């Protein structure tokens, strides 16, 4: 096998995790999609001599939307900048148009900081669902498909998925990206799988809770993971708890099923009293 495609979860769990011993001598390139792949996964495949092509798309788009190819000259950048760019979902393929709409129905700036919902249109993008009038009214507008993906766009035009609209955690009126937190947790060598969901909170609306499958669970691991996130994110982003589970539930396509976790762990008492005093940025 010289080429294959994997979801990011399968890529990490079965291939890229450092403790896995796999023979990839025949593999030249892997295409990763389905959900955002952590930078650590891209780096691991490079160490194994396998080129990673990060891509994004939807069935409604037949299916490719964007590909994370480096532009001319970017391969001369330092490692940090190159890997950060390759971990994004990339540039929209020729023939497609896109825009990103924020909560105020305005288009965002391409600064890599602002984010909103990604809308797309093009010759091969579906314009309606068959006999689903309610879904059509919700998901389509003036020829645009509302993807449900929350993204940012950097000045080079590279798209980065922040979250799914239904999965983004709203705490104190601000958004927390579950995808970013998951990528941070998955960077720990003892974590096999990690997902983050919003649990209802009386004061803050929602608070993040991490669900982790650990290769070697130990008493100190929870504190290590909390500290790992706290190094790079504001305190109100840090999960209020880390719960260890045997396996993250999956959908038929291999993606994490956060819906199942939200239903099973919807009790606010799970994290009662654990939220920080300020679970959103202080206003000026």
The domain boundary residue, chosen from 66, 92, 118: 92
pLDDT at 215 > cutoff 50: yes
Q: Are residues 233 and 266 in the same domain?
A: yes
Q: Is the dihedral of CA 31, 34, 40, 44 positive or negative?
A: negative
Q: Are residues 178 and 262 in the same domain?
A: yes
Whether 276 maps to a domain, the answer reads no
Q: Are residues 105 and 177 in the same domain?
A: no
165 and 150 in contact (C-beta within 8 Å)? yes
Q: Are residues 71 and 109 in the same domain?
A: no
Given this model, what pLDDT does residue 156 score?
98
Q: What is the mean pLDDT of residues 233-239?
A: 94
The larger pLDDT score, comparing residue 19 to residue 74, is at 74
Q: Are residues 75 and 122 in the same domain?
A: no
Q: What beta strand segments (E) does the chain contain?
A: 3-7, 29-33, 51-57, 64-67, 91-92, 97-101, 116-121, 140-141, 144-153, 159-164, 169-171, 174-176, 191-201, 205-214, 241-244
Question: Whole domain around residue 179: which residue ranges?
Answer: 169-270
Q: Are residues 86 and 106 in the same domain?
A: no
Q: Are residues 194 and 227 in the same domain?
A: yes
Confidence of residue 276 (pLDDT cuts 50, 70, 90): low
Domain holding 80: CATH number? 3.40.50.980
Confidence of residue 187 (pLDDT cuts 50, 70, 90): confident
Given this model, what pLDDT does residue 13 score?
64
pLDDT at 219 > cutoff 90: no
d(CA 39, CA 45) in angstroms, rounded, equals: 10
Whether 233 maps to a domain, the answer reads yes
Q: Are residues 143 and 216 in the same domain?
A: no
Whether 280 maps to a domain, the answer reads no
d(CA 115, CA 259) in angstroms, rounded, equals: 23
Q: Are residues 156 and 184 in the same domain?
A: no
Whether 255 maps to a domain, the answer reads yes
Helix segments in the chain, DSSP class H: 8-10, 39-47, 79-86, 133-139, 178-186, 221-232, 258-264
pLDDT at 224 > cutoff 50: yes
Q: Are residues 45 and 61 in the same domain?
A: yes
The domain boundary residue, chosen from 110, 131, 164: 164
Q: What is the mean pLDDT of residues 194-204?
A: 89
Whether 281 maps to a domain, the answer reads no
Q: How many domains does the chain have?
A: 3
pLDDT, tens digit (0-9, with 9 covering 90-100), for 118-130: 999 999 999 999 9
Q: Are residues 155 and 198 in the same domain?
A: no
pLDDT at 254 > cutoff 90: no
Reduced to 3 states, what is the DSSP secondary structure of residue 265?
A: coil
Q: Are residues 216 and 265 in the same domain?
A: yes
Q: What is the mean pLDDT of residues 100-116?
A: 95
């Amino acid at each position: 096998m010289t080429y294959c495609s994997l979801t990011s979860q399968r890529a990490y769990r079965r291939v890229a995790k450092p403790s896995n011993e796999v023979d990839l001598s025949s593999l030249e390139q892997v295409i990763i999609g389905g959900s955002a792949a952590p930078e650590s996964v891209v780096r691991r495949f490079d160490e194994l001599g396998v080129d990673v092509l990060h891509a994004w798309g939807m069935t409604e788009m037949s299916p490719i939307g964007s590909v994370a190819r480096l532009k001319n000259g970017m391969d001369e950048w330092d490692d940090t900048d190159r890997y950060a760019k390759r971990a994004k979902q990339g540039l929209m393929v020729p023939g497609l148009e896109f825009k990103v709409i924020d909560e105020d129905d305005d288009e965002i700036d391409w600064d890599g900081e602002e984010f909103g919902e990604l809308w797309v249109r093009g010759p091969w993008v579906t314009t309606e669902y068959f006999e689903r009038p309610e879904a059509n009214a919700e998901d389509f507008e003036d020829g645009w498909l509302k993807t449900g993906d929350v993204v940012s766009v950097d000045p080079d035009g590279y798209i980065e998925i922040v979250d799914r609209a239904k999965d983004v955690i709203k705490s104190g009126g601000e958004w927390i990206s579950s995808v970013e937190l998951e990528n941070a947790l998955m960077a720990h060598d003892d974590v096999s799988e990690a997902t983050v969901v919003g649990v209802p909170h009386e004061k803050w609306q929602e608070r993040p809770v991490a669900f982790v499958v650990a290769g070697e669970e130990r008493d100190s691991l929870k504190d290590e993971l909390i500290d790992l996130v706290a190094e790079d994110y504001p305190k109100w982003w840090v999960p209020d708890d880390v719960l260890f589970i045997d396996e993250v539930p999956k959908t038929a396509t291999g993606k994490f099923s956060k819906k199942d976790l939200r239903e099973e762990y919807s009790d606010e008492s799970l994290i009662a009293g654990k939220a920080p005093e300020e679970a959103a940025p202080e206003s000026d």
